[in-house]
Amino acid sequence: MTYGNIFLALGDPTRRSVLEALRHQPMTVGMLAKQMPVSRPAVSQHLKILKEAELVTVTPKGASNEYALNRKGLDEIRAWLDSMWDDSLEAFKAHVDQKPENNN
C-alpha cells in the first residue's frame, strides 16, 4: 500500500504547511525554515518524509537544496479517492440491480 506513506505525510500540519509553501515556487530548506515556526532540522526531517512519499522532489543547487512539489504523490491520493467512489457506485448499482432470482 503505497499511499500509506502519503496519507501519513499529509497528516502532519507542519508538512502540509511546507507543501502549501511550495505551491507558489520551489524553495530551499533555509527559506522554508525561515517562514515556519519550527527549526531547520525539523523542516529537514519533514522534507525527508515528504520526499519518500513522492510529494516533493529535490534538486541540488550548489550548497543548497531546492525542493519542489511532486505531482506523483498527490495523484495517488486522487486515485485513492476515485477508487472509493468507483466501489461505492458499484455497490449502489448492485443494490439497484438486485432481483429476487439468480442470487448465487
Partner DNA sequence: TTTATTGGTAAGTCATGACTTACGGTAATA
Partner DNA sequence: TATTACCGTAAGTCATGACTTACCAATAAA
Using CB under 8 A, which of the segments 3-11, 28-36, 38-46, 56-64 binds a copy of itself? 3-11
Q: Which of 2, 34, 84, 93 forms a contact with a copy of itself (CB under 8 A)?
A: 84
Task: Say which amino acid occupies 17.
Answer: S
**Rounded CA separation 16/78 (Å):** 16
Which set of grid coordinates corresponds to residue 47? 522534507
Site string for a copy of itself, 44-73 (x = CB under 8 A): -------------------------x----
Phi, then psi, of 89 in degrees rounded to 5? -65, -40
The secondary structure element, H or E, covering residue 61 is: strand 56-61
Residues binding DNA (CB under 7 A): 8, 11-14, 28-31, 38-42, 44-49, 58, 62-66
